[in-house]
Chains A and B, each alone.
Chain A
Amino acid sequence: MNITVYPARRLYTMNPSQPTGECLAVRDGRVLSVAPLDEIKRLGDVVIDERYADKVMMPGFVEGHSHALEGIIWDYVYLGWFDKIAPDGTLWAGVRDAGSIQQRLRRSLAALPVDQRLIAWGFDPIYFDGARLDKRLLDAVSPEVPIIVMHASLHVMTVNSAVIDAIQVSEKQIDGIVRDSTDQPTGELQELPAMHLVFDHYGIDFFEAASTPRALVQYARAARREGITTITDLLNPLSEKAIASMRATTADPDFPVRLVPALNALDWEPGAGSERVRQAMRHNHDKLHFGIVKIVTDGAIQNFTARLMWPGYLEMASNGVWNAPPQVFHDMVQHYHQAGLQLHIHTNGDEAVEIILEALEEALTLWPRPDHRHTLQHVQLIRQDQLRRVRALGACLNIFANHIYYWGDIHRTRTLGFDRCQRLEPTASAERLGIPFGIHCDAPVTPLSPLFTAHCAHTRETASGEVLGSAEAISRACALEAITLGAARTLHLDHCIGSLEPGKWADVTVLDDDPLQGDKSLKEIGVHATLLGGRPTTHA
């Protein structure tokens, strides 16, 4: 069997015993060697592929927390505040005032087939201080074609008069229907009871669509563009249909990423949920890995729905929300831990972290298990004492590092205040304490881009350019480890991905520039290509 050798300008391995190399030798899809060429030639006949000779190679990026919704949401019109890139590579500029929103909607309307409704997403009202998006603004685009704008939180929408009339909003008595001083609906519909009227009337179901093969292909395409070779869909229904779709899609040799779906535990009775994961695991292969379980405890800080300990929110007297009674989370942790599965637990606020640490302490006291790697996800506000408990439990963290950029300014002024922003996303503390950790993006909430996430963890710059909590900044090298080997550890997959060591899969991200030397910031470094199992990937 021939050995393929890819010489590179430089190769970073993330292997402490052999941190750098000059070329990558691949056989049977695995890393055979990163030694100098003369050494590799001792191992057999080689074919040299020079296409990356002036590039820099790294282990393929591992995205430990994102959602396949990314693969379908771009079917709709993007109205977010920040610039974003769609899976097909199109740059969508952020829209920052009412005129720009209307202009983009008008342009999309012109391309809309007859009898269709116009759906948009990503609008984040927290950036529109004072002015509200309302039906008048949308009616100016069209009073006849139904227009539905989903807000970034997915808990609120704004609609135009065509929708208001079609679903007879004026006649309904629902708290979530926002009305003006004359008792007329403004077009803003909040939470399920009000939004259900729209979903039901127009037959809209975003989450069902996210399970289709087409969505998965788009999702993988977006990941590949950003240098990702393993991607985690961290809230999958694991329905029969979704499993069949993932099996069929990943079986395609050209599918460019390895996929790790997590069961959405809140959709399942625990006994049936663990059984479903076990059944799905029988279908595991090199590019599809079942075995992890997700529990979503609280909401998001920027939506004022994360559960916070004292002193709570700056602008809101009430606390956030639980998605189930805390006892349910506690019991789920016990069940899935006993079932031998790995848990990934969404905990944004420090109160959410607290109840999960208590649950894990009980589970691990009762049923000790070496190297369980249960992972707390997001952990934006985790405290120092809680970090020490995480270490004592042998748990891992996956930290929402790019949140600093997107909502750091808002957190300082409106949700948390200065002090708690110093400890937001505490990557340096995790490193200092030796807690295995990754950093993530949570797409489509924030863009799928490990290099940008690493840049944020390194600089801690907000969108306004302020640096928040410099004591929690990590080095470039540490940030790069967090998007490769660190994330692989949180998925319990570091025996086969995350670093370029002999025997591991030859998953590689090829960069235009050296991320550890030179002046370019991490976010400016271009992703040239990816290799999966030693094979250059293409558009699926």
Chain B
Amino acid sequence: MRLCWEGGPPPMPEPAPIDTLLLCGFLGSGKTTRINQLIRAGRLRNALFLINDFGTLNIDAEWIDAREDGVLRLNNGCACCGISGNLSAQLTEIRRWPGPPECLVLEASGVARPRPLMQLFDAARGYRLGRADTLVDLSAIRSLLDDDAVGDIVHDQLRDVGHILVSRYHAMPGGAADAALERIKAINPHARVDWLPPVAPPCRRQVSRRAMPSWPDFARLAKPASSIVSRTVHLDAPVDIERLESLLDAARVLLLRAKGMLRSHDAPADMLAVQWTAGELRLSPLPSARHQALVLIGKGEPGLDALVTCLETAVVNQNREK
């Protein structure tokens, strides 16, 4: 039997529950980009963004006012912090803040299934689930669904929610985008699918409009469970950096890292250190270096050899032709 309040003053009214937006989606699906969009749009007031993706709190610097005890105070009245291990304890604590947020945006971990989290916020004292979205990188969704290690999680992330937000479809051939969308609809025919507008990449360098050579289909050369091999390419001429980045990005399915020292075609007098990880090419001055070389590390010999050939013929030698 429940104990009821009998006599005495009535209990204090419970504060309004914190309206919660869940953002789910696999690693790289664009959750952080979405959070920055929401901050920029300015429609959320007194919101707390809670990030649980094991990565940097990657909030655009222009919005950050202050950083205190792991909480970023944003200049639009919102705040942002990371989940520190124990979500249960953190939700209890947030609810008890002297000025609790009106709205919570939870960026779920990339392996979180939405359904338990939706139920958590439906039931937890002091919270109310407003909406649950799953973000999808359309260009990657089919390979993720077919991945033995994570396919079941990605499937559930699509199945559980009412809204699916699709991004990174712009460079896909029409047929591929349609096929990917069909896979999604087969898993969750009832979800509303919204197409997110393209996001301008963070401009580290001028984005080129130049046409790039058509690179080999590295996906066909990549073999699962291939051993890791490395190749060292000695360069005897400056490099076309845009072509290099285009080539390395095209080979991302099998290329793990590239690093080395080279001269750029644009400024051949300066030696640069180059570091490439999937989707990011970083260059920094390296005046002490003398020789140009690039180390490529990836999975499987056929793919890496094809990459070396392209590098030698289309990225380095093409400079000499000019």
- Using known A-B contacts A269-B55, A325-B110, determine if residue A197 contacts B123 with beta carbons closer than 8 Å: yes
Query: Is B212 at the interface (CB under 8 A from chain A)?
Result: no
Q: Which of A207, A267, A326, A365 is the one whose CB lies under 8 Å from B297?
A: A365
Which one of A111-119, A188-196, A519-527 is at the interface? Answer: A188-196
B221 within 8 A of A: no
**Complex: how many Å from CA A272 to CA B111?**
22
A292, chain B: closest CB distance, angstroms: 18
B109 CB contacts on chain A under 8 angstroms: 324-325
Q: How many residues of A contact B (CB 8 A)?
A: 48
Interface size classification for chain B = 35 or more
In the complex, what distance in Å separates the CA atom of A332 from the CA atom of B26? 17
Name the one of A203, A269, A355, A365 contacting B92, with C-beta atoms under 8 angstroms.
Answer: A203
Given A165-B1, A173-B123, A196-B124, the answer on whether A324 and B85 have CB atoms closer than 8 Å is: no
Residue A17 interfacial (CB < 8 Å): no
Asked if A351 contacts B92 (CB within 8 A), the reply is no
Residues of B with C-beta under 8 A to A172? 119, 122-123
Cross-chain contact B116 with A193 (CB below 8 angstroms): yes
Q: Which of A359-387 contact B (CB under 8 A)?
A: 361-362, 365-366
Contact of A196 among B1, B88, B115 (CB under 8 A): B88
Question: Is A174 positioned at the interface, with any CB of B under 8 Å from its CB?
Answer: yes
Instruction: Report the nearest A residue to B95, measured CB to CB.
Output: A200
Q: How far is the CA of A270 from the CA of B54 in the complex (A)?
A: 8
With an 8 A cutoff between CB atoms, is B27 at the interface? Answer: yes
Query: Are A175 and B230 within 8 A (Cβ)?
Result: no
Which chain A residues (295-335) contact chain B, with CB distance < 8 Å?
307, 318-319, 321-328, 332
Contacts of B257 on A, CB cut-off 8 Å? 362, 366
Give every chain B residue within 8 A of A432 (Cβ-Cβ). none
Q: State A263–B28 Cα separation when bound (angstroms).
A: 25
Residues of chain A lying within 8 A (CB to CB) of residue B26: 325
Q: Mark A258-289, 1 if CB is under 8 A from B, else 0.
A: 00000010110111000000000000000000
B150 A326 Cβ-Cβ under 8 A: yes
Partner pick for A201 among B27, B55, B125, CB 8 A cutoff: B125
Question: Which residues in B have their C-beta under 8 angstroms from that of A207?
Answer: 85-86, 89
The answer to whether the Cβ of A208 comes within 8 Å of any Cβ in the partner chain is: yes
Interface 1/0s, chain A 77-99, versus B by CB < 8 A? 00000000000000000000000
Give the CA-CA distance A174 to B116 in the complex, in Å: 7
CB of B119 within 8 A of CB of A174, answer yes
Is B293 positioned at the interface, with any CB of A under 8 Å from its CB?
no
**21 residue pairs A–B, Cβ–Cβ below 8 Å:** A173-B122, A174-B119, A176-B116, A176-B119, A191-B116, A193-B120, A196-B91, A196-B120, A200-B88, A201-B125, A203-B92, A207-B86, A266-B85, A318-B152, A322-B149, A325-B150, A326-B150, A328-B55, A362-B257, A365-B230, A366-B259
A207-B86, A237-B84, A322-B149 are known; give 9 further A-B pairs, CB within 8 A: A175-B116, A196-B88, A200-B88, A200-B125, A271-B56, A321-B111, A322-B150, A324-B111, A325-B111
7 tightest CB-CB pairs across the interface, nearest first? Answer: A193-B120, A172-B123, A325-B110, A174-B119, A196-B88, A325-B27, A267-B85
